[in-house]
Amino acid sequence: MRTTRTGTKTLALSLLVLSICQQNALQAATVDTATPVTPSANGAARGPAAVDTARLLAADAEPGQWMSTGRTYGEQHYSPLNAIDRGNVATLGLAWYADFNIARGQESTPLVIDGVIYVTTAWSNVLAFDAVTGAPLWSFDSKVPRDWGSRACCDVVNRGAAAWNGKIYVGTIDGRLIALDAATGTPVWSTDTVLTRDLSYSITGAPRVVKGKVIIGNGGAEYGVRGYVSAYDAETGALDWRFFTVPGNPAEGFENDTMRMAAETWKGEWWKLGGGGTAWDGMAYDPELDLLYIGVGNGSPWNQDIRSPGGGDNLFLSSIVALNPDDGSYVWHYQTTPGETWDYTATQPIMVATLPINGAPRKVVMQAPKNGFFYVLDAATGAFISAKPFAALNWATGIDEKGRPIENPVTRFDRTGKAAVVQPGPGGSHNWQPMAYSPQTGLVYLPATDSASIYAYDRNFNPNPLTTNLGIDNAAGAAELGPNAMADFASGSYMVAWNPVTQQASWRIPGPSAGMLATAGGLVFKGDQTGLGAYDAASGAQLWHSTPTHTGVAAAPVTYTVNGEQYVAVVAGRSNGNYYAPDYSRLLVFKQGAAQVLPEPVSYTPPTLNPPQATASIEQVARGAEIYGHNCWICHGDVGSAGGPLRRGLFPELAVSPTLNSQELFDAVVLQGVRSANGMVSFANVVNADGAADLRAYLIERANAALNARRGP
């Protein structure tokens, strides 16, 4: 994800959109039936995905495999393989590739087990390939109803699968957890992780398997849900345990003493708005301590004064929580952002490592959550060890010795009632992209972003489970602060090599956010807008770059060996880029001396900024701005500035939308839902015909403002 400068002026709108060029590509290319093919694997004798506790615990004894999403339970995204190293990485070339034909954001980390690559795609599909030849072995289409896409804040992405005892597990964007036969891709079981279909739960994260249980959380904290993590029997799919991340209605009784304790930190009738705290991505496990670590998301709604009037820490929002994996019982927690009000999730990737702390080895948990501080905690107790900013931030001036942030009161728009520019914005200083830790260098490699956004109290908050419930009014804030409010705030993304012991950057180089892979070859691999690069892990010098992939690479690479030869694999696809551009989502596999060539991209003319004249009244534009802020901004972002606050380029830029030229065309999308196959459902339940006219008037005004800004004074 690249830097987004949200908030400049108005806000954004929402939803509309269209994506004409991508429509044809949206049907998944996958098929249900599959002809099993014997892979050219060295482990075929034991059957596909023959992963068990013993193999996962001894993952370092099989460095050629990538059996779980972070490779090991500690999720360091580090490989001991060193055949590809600083000296020879320049000879890497494309060995094979496989097109997905699904033009949406691709964020998946592949698994590689005994010569087979398993990869998930947008819309929660799974593909299996021979890891040497790229021959397709099977594919699985999860057949997610496309209109569920509007119930996920940040595109219909999927970050990966889990493997266990001959099965591959995937969570779907509509909240199902599915076990597939690893030999054929045929479903073995499927379960619904969602409490109620009246609420907008989703799954984008990779499941983990610990001691025969499949662990999965959900997304949905923008939509008024209550977060939880569930554990299912890997063989049967039966629910084993569930840990709620925020307390429910006290009148219905607390599930356990932990919820009773958490409820002490909430005020008002928080359960009516869900509370949030969805655990949609980061998890790790430490087998020695036998602790499962989960990262917990933001509050629902964002605005704490609406969610929990009068404050409180609101446990376990924005926390790392350690659980007993056998029964899901609480062991410890550390809250990164008490009483969070800025969408500062702590769902970012978590890793476990042993570091020299004050001269002695200590097992720690590390995380670089959205709020911009890099945290090092004691893995056994959760005790705070250290935290320092890894990106520009203004919401806090530091962390005190007890590990509690020292807030900057100006940024507490929910308490002051005044709009504020807050760093970072809701996209965070670091988002979902996996970071990597190299024991060789002692450095953590992570993508960091400087960003800021305008937050203001939404005085017209009206909860609706089918749309976003933020409790902030970016447009009102922009009007309050004036056109230059964002001028002095940094923006930009970079790769940073962070020393977690000294809490300082060793080096940083500019570039778009993408997942990381560190290897014993002294290398760090990371994607960008044109392909995959390899960097010297010590200095950051770029040593290799792939030939152009014609689409951005944001997902984390992996590396593996088959028959003694080392490969590097990564998924490419639109997470860094322009929504309207043609997309080439695909799996790319590299090895030394290979020279496969990708097909030439089709020619493409970007849409031009050419809106109709702005003729609407100031009042109508203002009404449209409010509708936009409540329903559209979360995805479409600031009109004329390319992209939403959370995902630049994943959603259409409405300033160039052809629907601006015709109210009829506009209504067909916004009211009649003709783009629902893309996830842009009808918003007729929240916007009436007058509202749609107001919305279009607002968009036309914004598009003209962008055009005028481009022309200059």
Q: Which is nearer to Ca ion, 181 or 343 (CB)?
A: 343
552 and 582 Cβ atoms separated by less than 8 Å: no
Q: Which is nearer to Ca ion, 191 or 298 (CB)?
A: 298
Question: Encoding tokens for residue 503?
Answer: 């809490």
Q: Residues with Cβ < 8 Å from 194, sequence gap 6 or more?
A: 174, 175, 176, 201, 218
Q: Which is nearer to Ca ion, 343 or 638 (CB)?
A: 343
104 and 651 Cβ atoms separated by less than 8 Å: no
43 and 539 Cβ atoms separated by less than 8 Å: no
- Cβ neighbours of 90 (radius 10 Å): 12
182 and 34 Cβ atoms separated by less than 8 Å: no
Cα–Cα distance for residue pair 647/541, rounded to 1 Å: 28
- For the CB of residue 317, give the shortest distance to Ca ion in the complex, in Å: 11
- For the CB of residue 413, give the shortest distance to Ca ion in the complex, in Å: 17
- For the CB of residue 172, give the shortest distance to Ca ion in the complex, in Å: 19
Scan residues 307-346 and list those touching Ca ion (CB under 5 A).
Answer: 343
- For the CB of residue 635, give the shortest distance to Ca ion in the complex, in Å: 12
Q: Is 343 a catalytic residue?
A: yes
Under rule CB under 5 A, residue 298 binds Ca ion: yes
- For the CB of residue 284, give the shortest distance to Ca ion in the complex, in Å: 20
- For the CB of residue 148, give the shortest distance to Ca ion in the complex, in Å: 18
Q: Could you tell me which of 101, 25, 16 has the C-alpha nearest to residue 652?
A: 16
Task: Write the single-letter amino acid at 126.
Answer: V
> How far separated are the first and last CA of the chain, in Å rounded?
31
- For the CB of residue 191, give the shortest distance to Ca ion in the complex, in Å: 25
User: Of 305, 343, 638, 694, which one is the catalytic site residue?
Assistant: 343
- For the CB of residue 633, give the shortest distance to Ca ion in the complex, in Å: 13
| Strands 443-450 vs 532-536: parallel, antiparallel or unpaired | unpaired
Cα–Cα distance for residue pair 534/520, rounded to 1 Å: 13
**SS3 (DSSP) at 20:** helix
Q: Which is nearer to Ca ion, 227 or 540 (CB)?
A: 227
Neighbouring-strand partners of residue 535: 524, 542
Q: Which is nearer to Ca ion, 298 or 336 (CB)?
A: 298
Q: Render 411-441 in DSSP notation, one character per residue.
A: G-HHHH-S-EEESS-TT-SS-SSPPEEETTT
Using a 10 angstrom Cβ sphere, with 0-12 exposed, 13-18 middle and 19 or more buried, the burial of residue 46 is: exposed
- Cβ neighbours of 162 (radius 10 Å): 27
Which stretch, 235-243, 297-305, 333-341, 446-454, contacts Ca ion (CB under 5 A)? 297-305
Under rule CB under 5 A, residue 158 binds Ca ion: no
C-alpha 635: how far from its chain's center?
A: 14
Q: Which is nearer to Ca ion, 318 or 438 (CB)?
A: 318
Total residues interacting with Ca ion, rule: CB under 5 A: 2
Which stretch, 46-54, 293-301, 317-325, 548-556, contacts Ca ion (CB under 5 A)? 293-301
Q: Which CA distances in Å does 656 have to 254, 309, 609, 653?
A: 50, 40, 5, 6
Q: Which is nearer to Ca ion, 347 or 585 (CB)?
A: 347
Block residue for tokens 């919401």: 395
- For the CB of residue 595, give the shortest distance to Ca ion in the complex, in Å: 43
Cα–Cα distance for residue pair 569/589, rounded to 1 Å: 4
Q: Could you tell me which of 225, 629, 630 has the C-alpha nearest to residue 638?
A: 629
- For the CB of residue 280, give the shortest distance to Ca ion in the complex, in Å: 8
Q: Residues with Cβ < 8 Å from 471, sequence gap 6 or more?
A: 301, 302, 303, 305, 306, 307, 414, 457, 458, 461
Block residue for tokens 């779980």: 68
DSSP 251: G
- For the CB of residue 489, give the shortest distance to Ca ion in the complex, in Å: 20
Cα–Cα distance for residue pair 523/489, rounded to 1 Å: 33
Under rule CB under 5 A, residue 304 binds Ca ion: no
DSSP 245: S
- The number of CA neighbours under 13 Å toward the Cβ of 579 is 25
Q: Which CA distances in Å does 517 have to 75, 241, 465?
A: 11, 32, 38
**SS3 (DSSP) at 122:** helix
558 and 71 Cβ atoms separated by less than 8 Å: yes
Backbone φ and ψ of 196, nearest 5°: -150, 140
Question: x/- binding map, residues 341-360, to Ca ion, per CB under 5 A?
Answer: --x-----------------
Active site residue ranges: 343
Q: Which stretches of the chain bind Ca ion, using CB under 5 A?
A: 298, 343
